[in-house]
């Protein structure tokens, strides 16, 4: 089965429709999220209906939003099966498509959560906001973008390039190509890839540089 892990689920959207007689007539609620199983959706709506009934005659939108938060906090969600959820049926999506959309939404939620806090850079030791920092995965080491950018530029300018990894000593977490482009630019990333390709080719015993001056590209050596 296809699966992914996340530390932050995407939000649950609380939809409501208020009749003209509200709050003396109950509001109509619904909840949506890509990952939300039908079982949980049904349980949440049942709770919201109870809140609305118990507080008839009073505004309940805040109470209902808090109840949804409480439900999610109390629910043991170590594993969620997407399957044929109401979201998938509504949008006519295959399970693999739902999984990919859920992964993208959870990644955005993780980023928002990361950027909402402050972190100590493991290089300059300054405390900076998450939006000014980079977190390597899967190790979780965090550095400010300024230090990572300086590290990348130093490595690329010296052309002492092997596969660039996390700045922490002996850590093997790789650096994502999007991050190199963001901090060093597309031109620097293209140079990085060319250097890696060149080193990989010349580490092979059957590759040599084309002797033609106008070419100078790697060529396969064959025995005659």
Number of neighbours of residue 222 by Cβ within 10 angstroms: 6
Name which of 5, 2, 4, 8 is nearest 72 in CA terms.
Answer: 8
* Containing structural domain, residue 33: 13-114
Q: What is the mean pLDDT of residues 127-144?
A: 90
| pLDDT score of 196 more than 80 | no
Q: Are residues 86 and 138 in the same domain?
A: no
pLDDT at 159: 65
The span from the CA of 59 to the CA of 61, in Å, is: 6
- Mean pLDDT score across all residues of the chain: 84
From residue 73, give the alpha-carbon distance in Å to each of 70, 77, 96. 5, 9, 27
Greater model confidence, 155 or 33:
33
Q: Look at residues 55, 83, 114 and tell me which one is the last residue of a structural domain.
A: 114
Task: Answer yes or no: do 131 and 180 share one domain.
Answer: yes
DSSP helix/strand/coil, 20: coil
Supply the pLDDT for residue 63: 94
Is residue 144 a contact partner of residue 133, using CB atoms and an 8 Å limit?
yes
Supply the CATH number for residue 168's domain. Answer: 3.30.40.10
The secondary structure element, H or E, covering residue 55 is none
- 32 falls within a domain: yes
Report yes or no on whether pTM surpasses 0.75: no
**Of the listed ranges 16-25, 40-49, 200-209, the one predicted with least confidence:** 200-209
Tell me: do 110 and 27 sit in the same domain: yes
Tokens of 204: 């092979």
């Amino acid at each position: 089965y296809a699966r992914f892990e996340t530390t932050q689920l995407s939000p649950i959207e609380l939809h409501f429709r208020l009749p003209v007689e509200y709050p003396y007539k109950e509001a109509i609620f619904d909840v949506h999220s890509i990952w939300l199983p039908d079982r949980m959706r049904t349980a949440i709506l049942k709770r919201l209906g109870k809140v609305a009934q118990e507080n008839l005659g009073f505004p309940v939108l805040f109470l209902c939003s808090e109840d949804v938060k409480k439900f999610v906090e109390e629910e043991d969600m170590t594993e969620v099966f997407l399957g044929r959820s109401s979201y998938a049926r509504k949008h006519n999506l295959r399970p693999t498509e739902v999984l990919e959309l859920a992964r993208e939404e959870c990644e955005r939620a993780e980023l928002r959560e990361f950027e909402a806090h402050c972190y100590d850079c493991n290089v300059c030791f300054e405390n900076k906001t998450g939006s000014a920092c980079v977190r390597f995965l899967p190790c979780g080491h965090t550095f400010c973008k300024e230090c990572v950018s300086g590290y990348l530029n130093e490595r690329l300018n010296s052309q002492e390039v092997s596969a660039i990894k996390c700045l922490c000593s002996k850590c093997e977490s790789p650096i994502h190509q999007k991050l190199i482009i963001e901090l060093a630019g597309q031109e620097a990333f293209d140079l990085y890839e060319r250097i890696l390709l060149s080193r990989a080719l010349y580490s092979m015993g059957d590759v040599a540089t084309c002797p033609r001056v106008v070419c100078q590209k790697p060529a396969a050596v064959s025995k005659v």
